[in-house]
Amino acid sequence: MDLKEIKALIDLMQKNGLTAFEMEKDGFRLSLAKETGYGLPMASAPPAAPAAAVSRPLEAAPAAATPVVAGKEIASPMVGTFYTSASPESPVFVTVGQQVTPDTVVCIIEAMKVMNEIKAEQAGTVTEVAAENGQPVQFGQALFRLK
């Protein structure tokens, strides 16, 4: 599934007044939820082939703009606004020096008014928060660095 198909699904949700949508196709699972006023809206997709399918044609431009740094990196899977916590009053998801596992939620990226939980997808220790809270991020941009 590519980004255009996901955007089309979000448009259909908005046109039909849906607050939640889930689908599974060829081993890819997508879950979208719209804010209802009772909590944080969430949308998450497992780190499966779709991110790789979308990243192949677009990877060259961000990679050229970002210097290569030794160690592991958690890169943004989409364009959106980067948030270190679920709300301004909530504690940050991760801090420098914290151990993370592949399933650790490290941040949220808001894209098209949908909050997307971003997981580390790898184990390590956070050495740097490379993006600024509340600021726009690009596809492939480094969000965190790990060792």
**CATH number for 119:** 2.40.50.100
Entry pTM? 0.52
Residue 126: exposed, middle, or buried by beta-carbon count in 10 A (0-12, 13-18, 19+)?
buried
- Write out the two tokens for 90: 């909530």
- Predicted confidence at residue 137, as pLDDT, reads 92
What's the confidence (pLDDT) of residue 15? Answer: 77
143 CB-contact burial (10 Å; exposed 0-12 / middle 13-18 / buried 19+): buried
Predicted pLDDT at 60: 45
> How much is the pLDDT for 11?
80
- The predicted pLDDT at position 96 comes to 92
Contact 111, 54 (CB under 8 A): no
What pLDDT was estimated at residue 52? Answer: 46
Domain limits for position 42: 3-146
Helix (H) or strand (E) holding 3: helix 3-16
Give residue 107's pLDDT.
Answer: 94
Q: What angle do CA 11, 55, 146 make, to 5 degrees?
A: 115
pLDDT at residue 13 in the model: 75
Q: What pLDDT score was predicted for residue 35?
A: 63
pLDDT at 38: 47
pLDDT value of residue 94: 92
Tell me which residues of the chain have a pLDDT lower than 50: 38-44, 46, 48-69
